[in-house]
Each structure stands twice: as structure tokens, then as C-alpha cells.
Amino acid sequence: EPEVTQTPSHQVTQMGQEVILRCVPISNHLYFYWYRQILGQKVEFLVSFYNNEISEKSEIFDDQFSVERPDGSNFTLKIRSTKLEDSAMYFCASSVGAPSYNEQFFGPGTRLTVL
């Protein structure tokens, strides 16, 4: 069964460093998303991406964050200068069609630890 994959499973970085989290969505999916979950808190939406551009972003997704689909298979989330409060589990998701009516399939997550 097709699945969303994410690498690495755990990333440790120093405050101020740039990190790139990688995701491979399901191959025929057209919509891509990033969510995060700070330990003990809710899963929060960050951004959605369709047709090579951001279709919606939350107030969390500020100028420190960017997303890219550099080739036909990968979808990346970059944090330019990490802060302690960026420590969280980051989930990638994808859907075959418009999110209002199509299931979002989630990856296993990348745990980001900022020291």
C-alpha cells in the first residue's frame, strides 16, 4: 500500500542552524501539507501546497519557514534559523485531490530537537 515517507526520523540541531525536513508524498497525490505537534500540544497546521505554490498557510508559518517541491517526488520544509520553540514532531501529509473532500495521508513524522 502506498505511503508517505519522511526523513530523517529524528533530527537534532543547534539553535540558529538551518534544517531541511524531507517528505516523499504518495506518487499520484497533488496536494501536500506540513503539520507539527509540540510535545503535549495539539497537532497544528503549518502549510498546504498545490500546483507548485502555497495554497494556505497558518500564522505559525512565518518567514523562517519555506517549502519546496524540488523534483517530482520530494516535498521539503526548511527552517532557516531554528529556535528552541521549533522543537516538535513534524508531519507531512498528501491528498489525491482537493482537501475538503479527500483524505489526507500522513507520514510517520520527523522529531526535531533544537538545542
Partner 1 sequence: GNSVTQMEGPVTLSEEAFLTINCTYTATGYPSLFWYVQYPGEGLQLLLKATKADDKGSNKGFEATYRKETTSFHLEKGSVQVSDSAVYFCALNPKETSGSRLTFGEGTQLTVNP
Classify burial at 14, counting beta carbons within 10 Å of its beta carbon; exposed 0-12, middle 13-18, buried 19 or more.
exposed
Q: Is 27 in the site for partner 1 (CB under 8 A)?
A: no
Site for partner 1 in 47-76 (CB under 8 A): 48, 55-56, 58
Nearer to partner 1, 76 or 102 (CB): 102
Residues 6 or more apart in contact with residue 22 via CB below 8 angstroms: 6, 7, 8, 74, 75, 76
* Cα separation of the two ends of the chain: 37
Q: Is 38 in the site for partner 1 (CB under 8 A)?
A: no
Q: Which of 88, 21, 32, 98 is CA-nearest to residue 60?
A: 88
**Cβ 27 to partner 1, closest distance in Å?**
17
**Cβ 15 to partner 1, closest distance in Å?**
27
| Residues near partner 1, by CB under 8 A | 3-4, 6, 31, 33, 35, 41-45, 48, 55-56, 58, 91, 93, 98-101, 103-109
